[in-house]
Structure 1
Amino acid sequence: MTEKSTQTPSITPAVLHRLVQEERAPRILDVRTPGEFRTVHIPGAYNVPLSTLREHRNELLAHLDEEVILVCRSGARAAQAEKALAEAGLPNLRVLEGGINAWEMAGAPANRGADRWDMERQVRLVAGSIVLATGVVGLFVPGAHLIGTAVGAGLTYAALSNSCAMGVLLSKLPYNRGPRTDIHSVIAELRGTS
């Protein structure tokens, strides 16, 4: 028996922008890495990286009783966060359609920091470099091209499963981590804005 797929509830950038302008914005949780968050984020958003959110979702529940909008780069990680929070019993969750990319394309305001490469671009660089290098080395070393084939299989799986092991590994690099999100500070901020 196959499981029926459910659509993740969403909100458009235009609707969220209007709510922000009217000072009726719901809680906005940005689930990207601290490095990505520092590069650009929606004013008033709280940075709770996906891994931190999964680990501390029960602690967050008491402070997220109203509507919550989840944001990432394009929507995939936010959908994973929505699933994790919904499983923990939090209602009223929505994902920003198209993520921060769509927010910026809509011309909505954003806080900016130093420019950094987003996770998807880093994955493309690493995967492409591995495939290129093993393709060239494969001209001289029989079988080396199989490493590139394995990377291609991993990328195919990542697309089909909407997860990315290489992205998870890259997110652990100091470049992407920046200062670790202190969940207790986030909770204190959430409590202060109740």
Structure 2
Amino acid sequence: MNDITPAELKERQQNQQAPIIIDVREPWEYEESRIDGSRNIPLGELPTKIEDLEDLKHTEVVVHCKGGGRSATAKALLQQHGFDHVRNLVGGINAYNAG
């Protein structure tokens, strides 16, 4: 599935059509700024949390981090575990906040 731009995500949020958003940054980063409605699961903890996310395997999930690197890793990890609608937020929260 293609990645999602900050503009597309904001539009979806405004239309009450927001996907599940998982922030894979560290808790201290999440505390500093976050996307409304996002859930914080640091990348280092994601492998142990995949079972908790089983009900989202066929749901659209957007992963993001600061700039897109960690979330690209998270997207690949989720896809390897059968998640078929995972999208990475292009440019991460930096791009989201800049727009």
TM class by shorter chain equals over 0.9
Which residue, 29, 35, 40 being the options, matches 1:42?
A: 35
Q: Is the 8 A contact 1:27 1:64 kept in 2?
A: no
Letter in 2 for 1:88: H
1:60 and 2:45 aligned = no
Structure 1, unpaired ranges of 5+: 1-7, 107-194
The equivalent residue for 1:30 is 23
Q: Is the 8 A contact 1:27 1:45 kept in 2?
A: yes
Deviation at 1:51, TM superposition (A): 1.2
Deviation at 1:71, TM superposition (A): 0.8
Which residue, 88, 91, 94 being the options, matches 1:95?
A: 88
Letter in 2 for 1:41: R
TM-score by length of 1: 0.49
Q: Distance in 2 between matches of 1:22 and 1:98?
A: 22
Deviation at 1:64, TM superposition (A): 4.8
Structure in which a larger fraction of residues adopt helix: 1
SS at match of 2:95: helix
Deviation at 1:66, TM superposition (A): 1.0
Q: Distance in 1 between matches of 2:42 and 2:53?
A: 13
Q: Distance in 2 between matches of 1:60 and 1:46?
A: 11
Which residue, 17, 21, 25 being the options, matches 2:14?
A: 21
Structure 2, unpaired ranges of 5+: none
Q: Distance in 1 between matches of 2:34 and 2:12?
A: 16
Q: Is the 8 A contact 1:68 1:92 kept in 2?
A: yes
Which residue, 44, 55, 73 being the options, matches 1:80?
A: 73
1:151-166 alignment runs, 5 A limit = none
Deviation at 1:52, TM superposition (A): 1.2
Q: Distance in 2 between matches of 1:57 and 1:29?
A: 12
SS at match of 2:84: coil
Higher relative contact order (CA 8 A, sep 6+): 2
Q: Distance in 2 between matches of 1:98 and 1:63?
A: 23
What CA RMSD, in Å, does the superposition of the two structures yield over aligned residues? 1.3
Q: Distance in 1 between matches of 2:17 and 2:62?
A: 12
Q: Is the 8 A contact 1:31 1:50 kept in 2?
A: yes
Letter in 2 for 1:105: A
* Identical positions, percent: 37
